[in-house]
Structure 1
């Protein structure tokens, strides 16, 4: 049995968004228990030239909402990147999960050869659907969630590998 585009995308997105939500929840609980402002974490970064945690979450959620829409032949919704607190970031993750969960297999399957063009001010990227999902979306999605994890660990939040991977 082969793996469909839907199976390789939507359930993976939902699972990792749940894990991202759990990481942010643990962070908020840790900050409260430790007695510091939990929202300091939202602006924390690993290195001065890297994006802060808030932007990492925004990019991760943008990746999956964009992928679900593009693979289904829809235009991705535009969300303002205004979140500055952990509560706002948790709400964004929940919104992304609700959005990608609304896509059914019939809308995503068969998109392996669908043309996907990403236009940015300095570069245009051209993909077929399978390459877009496997070589652009998933690596970016995991990278930004991994970076959230690393920022939290660097700030003493007691998260571990199983928090990143989620329960089995």
Structure 2
């Protein structure tokens, strides 16, 4: 029995949730704890920063539920307080850290209900690599972009914070 792939997925999600938390804290500091930060958005027809936090967390959250054999469901997208945003991140990290399945789980089929009578049937590997991870990065990057647009002084080193321990100076 192997857990190498599952462990890799967990590590990726955990480290990027740390990135999301870092970006959130930086934005919170820049906005002096003003919860209006949660309503910032790139365009009127796009979801605000608070919703991007929930949508980013939904991917590892639902991965964890699927691994546990539980029904998928999304977190509340109406993030109206800083505490609620941090709670989404913390609860997702905790759920993710409790995964106990083997890599064989990735060969199982999953049916994703898309609403309006639409669905997809995918293997676990396709679910992770073609659905979860792209959606995860889309919402993480959108959260980053909202903060940049709002004037928060962040850059690539903040987005790539998971690599900072590997950076050396000559």
Where do 1:44-83 residues align within 5 Å?
44-76=40-72, 79-83=75-79
TM-score by length of 1: 0.87
TM-score by length of 2: 0.86
- Structure 1 segments, 4+ long, off by >6 Å, are none
Unaligned runs of 5+ in 1: none
Is 1:119 equivalent to 2:113 in the alignment? yes
Distance 1:48 1:77, change over 3 A: closer
Tell me, in whole angstroms, the C-alpha distance in 2 between the residues paired with 1:78 and 1:121: 13
Could you tell me whether the CA contact under 8 Å between 1:111 and 1:129 is conserved in 2?
yes
Q: How much is the aligned-residue C-alpha RMSD, in angstroms? A: 2.0
Could you tell me whether the CA contact under 8 Å between 1:72 and 1:111 is conserved in 2?
no
Unaligned runs of 5+ in 2: 166-170
The equivalent residue for 1:140 is 135
Higher relative contact order (CA 8 A, sep 6+): 1
Is 1:4 equivalent to 2:12 in the alignment? no
The equivalent residue for 2:25 is 25
Distance 1:77 1:136, change over 3 A: closer
- Partner SS for 2:110: strand
Number of paired residues?
161
- Residue in structure 1 matching 2:151, options 137, 156, 160: 156
